[in-house]
Every structure is written in structure tokens, then in C-alpha cells.
């Protein structure tokens, strides 16, 4: 097995690392404190073709592989976790399903300008009573001639307040359970599409999310993504890739915390010497570095499997599970290395702890990942 990156992958890593250090890291704390959408950063990243990393060039993307995508999200998230998830959602949860399940006409309208970064997309699966249980959808779409009338709501929709379109899931046949779910592509300026104010959250404060409401919203049948009843398949396939993005985000957050802790351990002195010379600190740094490398390799394995076109549900779940829980462990250790200063907003350590926590929840909780993995392992 070759663990070496290609020349292209290394160049992507180097370039985005430099961009993130210059354009993201210096502003991340301010964006977090003010809950400011990183408009200029998103525009800059779109100009680098990072809103559609693995989308073919003919559809406006960069035409790179999913390992490049994982590298990109890690480097962006190391600079700013909020910007990282904005990019991840547009790539994994929006562009990817349109690329995989959309018609050519749909790709022209709903993919190309989004992969170019001219527009922004989001993904609408979660509802107030349908989080981990995605099959419990209550949003309903009723066919009326050449269109569907949709009523219902979604919540916690990342990019929602800024999105130009949504991959939306609704029940077209309640009696069929999860086999009655259908996916739609819906412009957010459609009459009957209502967005609430941005959510107030513990972390990733610059990545806006919101609740959405649909009141007799009429959507042309030509905007249906896939066939009726295929929505659950669309959603689960999409989440396999989405978990790659969140796992990479978690690695980026943890790396930021780790690198800052290593730096601080050389600057801070106690008992007459830098704290990095105390074995207790050395052990924490060793543990953090080991967990970071393990998580990154899990992410790259799943990304490589996606590039090969083989099923990667279990591998993506493993990467997401381990990387997200690793991020919480590493950011907490990094805060501990900072001591009392780690608890102060003068440092970034506390922000990394807050940002890391959501990675264990969205795009499938850790408990759901364990279900996915164990189901795969225990198949007869």
C-alpha cells in the first residue's frame, strides 16, 4: 500500500495550507466572536475551484480526486472550522448528489454554477422529529400535474441562510416508509420557501444554519432528483461522502489545536523550564500526534475508496467516528496544555474545543456511525 501523496495532491496541500495561514487563521477568532459569515473567504476559495473539488471541469469543478478534497477540507478547517464546513457542505452534500443523480439539464442549472462557486448549495434532510431517524420525514410532496406541492419544515440546515438552492427530501408516499422519500432540487427563492433567522450555536458560529419552512411550495416535476421513492438512497449515498468531509474537518480542527499547543509548550515556562520538558506534557503531545495521524489515514483510505468507485459506507463511518471523537480528545488535551490561558478567549484553544464538538453530531452522530459499522461487520 502506497501512503505517499501524488505530486498534485502535495501541491494542493501546500497551496491551501499557505492560503489558510494567510487568509483564514488571522480572522477565524473574529468571525467566531461576531458570528460573521466569511464572505470574502468563501469567494476566495471559490476562485481556487474549491467549492467543487471533485466535480469534473465540464461541470465547473476542479476535476480533482476525493483525496484532494479531504486534504483541502483539512487545511481549510485548520485555518477556520466554520469555513471548512461551508466548503464541505457545498461539495459533499450538494454538488455530489447532483453530479451522481442529476440529469444533464439539472446539472447545467443546479451543478455548474455551484461547483464554480457562483452560487451556494445546502442539503435538507433533518427535521425536528427526524434527525438520526431519517426515515421519519414529515415534509410531504404531493404530485399535482407537472409539479409537486411541498409542505413541511427542516432544521439545522448548514449554509441555509445563504444558499441559492437545496437538495430537499420529502415524503411522496407515507405508507412506504423510507421507500416513500423523494429528493428534489429547489431554488431558495421559490414562493412558499421561508427561512428563519440563523441558529445560535455553541461552535462553528460563522457557518450559518437555520430552520426552513415550506408552505404550499410548488416545485416543477423536472426538478425531482432521481425517481420517486429513491430519496433515501440518494440521502444515504450522499452522507457516505459527506462524512468524509466532516472527518477531514475534524482532523483540521484537531491539528490546529495540536500545533498551537506544541508552540505554547515551548513558550510557557514552569518550574524553571519550558513546559514541553515535563514528561506529562510530552505524553499529551505524543498522544495527540498519534491520534491525528491515525484519523487522517482513515480519512484518506475512505477517500481513496470513493475515488476507486467502490462502496465505502463502513470506511467513511469509521473515519467520521474516529476523527470526530479524536478531535474532542485532542482539543481538550490542547486546552489542558495551555492551562488557565486555554480557558480564556484570548487564546484559540477554547474555540477549537467548541468547534470540535459538533463533528460528533452532524452528518450522523457517533452512535449512528457505530450502527453503520456494526451492521456491515455483522452481515451474515
Query: Using one digit for the tens of pLDDT, what is the confidence trace for 68-116?
Result: 999 999 999 999 999 999 999 999 999 999 999 999 999 999 999 999 9
Instruction: Determine the Cα–Cα distance for residues 364 and 261; give it in Å rounded to an integer.
Output: 29
CA distances from 308 to 239, 304, 312 (A): 17, 6, 10
DSSP 273: E
* Pairing relationship of beta strands 147-158 and 193-195 according to DSSP bridges: unpaired
| pLDDT at 380 > cutoff 80 | no
> Above 60 in pLDDT, residue 17?
yes
The CATH architecture of the domain made up of 233-377 is Up-down Bundle (1.20)
SS3 assignment, position 219: strand
Q: How far apart are CA 151 and CA 159, in angstroms?
A: 21
Task: Identify whether the C-beta of residue 360 lies closer than 8 Å to the C-beta of residue 313.
Answer: no
Whether the pLDDT of residue 322 is over 90: the answer is yes
Q: Is the pLDDT confidence value at 379 over 90?
A: no
**Spatial contact of 182 and 230, defined as CB atoms under 8 Å apart:** yes
Burial class (CB in 10 A: 0-12, 13-18, 19+), 310: exposed
Q: Domain map of the chain by residue range?
A: 7-115, 121-229, 233-377
Strand (E) or helix (H) holding 242: helix 231-267
pLDDT digits (tens, 9 = 90+) for 271-289: 999 999 999 999 999 999 9
Superfamily of domain 7-115 in CATH is Acyl-CoA dehydrogenase/oxidase, N-terminal domain (1.10.540.10)
* CATH pick for 121-229 out of 2.40.110.10, 1.10.510.10, 3.40.1160.10, 3.30.300.160: 2.40.110.10
Known active-site residue 363: yes
Residues 6+ apart with CB under 8 A from 129: 136, 138
* Tens digit of each residue's pLDDT (9 = 90 or more) over 185-213: 999 999 999 999 999 999 999 999 999 99
5, three cell numbers: 501523496
Which of 129, 363, 367, 380 is labelled catalytic?
363
pTM of the model: 0.97
pLDDT in tens, 141-153: 999 999 999 999 9
Amino acid at each position: 500500500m502506497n501512503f505517499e501523496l501524488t505530486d498534485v495532491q502535495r501541491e494542493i496541500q501546500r497551496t491551501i495550507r499557505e492560503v489558510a495561514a494567510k487568509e483564514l487563521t488571522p480572522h477565524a477568532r473574529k468571525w467566531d466572536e461576531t458570528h460573521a459569515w466569511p464572505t470574502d473567504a468563501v469567494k476566495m476559495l471559490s476562485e481556487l475551484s474549491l467549492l467543487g473539488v471533485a466535480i469534473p471541469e465540464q461541470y465547473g469543478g476542479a476535476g480533482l480526486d476525493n483525496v484532494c478534497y479531504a486534504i483541502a477540507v483539512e487545511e481549510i478547517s485548520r485555518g477556520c472550522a466554520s469555513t471548512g464546513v461551508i466548503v464541505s457542505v457545498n461539495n459533499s452534500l450538494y454538488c455530489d448528489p447532483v453530479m451522481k443523480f442529476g440529469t444533464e439539464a439539472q446539472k447545467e442549472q443546479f451543478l455548474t454554477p455551484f461547483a464554480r462557486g457562483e452560487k451556494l448549495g445546502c442539503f435538507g434532510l433533518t427535521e425536528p422529529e427526524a434527525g438520526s431517524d431519517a426515515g421519519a420525514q414529515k415534509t410531504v410532496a404531493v404530485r399535482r400535474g407537472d409539479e409537486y406541492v411541498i409542505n413541511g419544515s427542516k432544521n439545522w440546515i448548514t449554509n441555509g441562510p445563504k444558499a441559492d438552492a437545496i437538495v430537499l427530501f420529502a415524503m411522496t408516499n407515507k405508507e412506504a416508509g423510507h421507500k416513500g422519500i423523494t429528493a428534489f432540487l429547489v431554488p431558495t427563492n421559490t414562493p412558499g420557501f421561508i427561512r428563519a433567522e440563523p441558529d445560535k450555536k455553541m461552535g462553528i458560529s460563522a457557518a450559518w444554519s437555520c430552520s426552513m419552512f415550506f408552505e404550499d411550495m410548488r416545485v416543477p416535476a423536472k426538478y425531482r432528483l432521481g425517481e420517486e421513492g429513491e430519496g433515501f438512497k440518494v440521502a444515504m449515498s450522499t452522507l457516505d461522502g459527506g462524512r468524509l468531509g466532516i472527518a477531514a474537518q475534524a482532523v483540521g480542527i484537531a491539528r490546529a489545536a495540536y500545533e498551537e499547543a506544541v508552540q505554547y509548550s515551548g513558550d510557557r515556562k514552569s518550574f524553571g523550564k519550558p513546559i514541553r520538558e515535563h514528561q506529562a506534557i510530552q505524553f499529551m503531545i505524543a498522544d495527540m500526534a498519534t491520534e491525528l495521524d491515525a484519523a487522517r489515514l482513515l480519512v484518506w483510505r475512505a477517500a481513496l475508496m470513493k475515488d476507486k468507485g467502490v462502496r465505502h459506507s463502513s470506511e467513511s463511518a469509521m473515519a467520521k467516528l474516529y476523527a470526530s471523537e479524536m478531535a474532542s480528545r485532542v482539543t481538550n488535551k490542547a486546552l489542558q496544555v495551555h492551562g488557565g490561558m486555554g480557558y480564556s478567549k484570548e487564546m484559540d484553544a477554547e474555540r477549537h474545543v467548541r468547534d470540535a464538538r459538533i463533528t460528533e453530531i452532524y452528518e450522523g452522530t457517533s452512535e449512528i456511525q457505530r450502527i453503520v459499522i456494526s451492521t456491515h461487520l455483522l452481515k451474515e
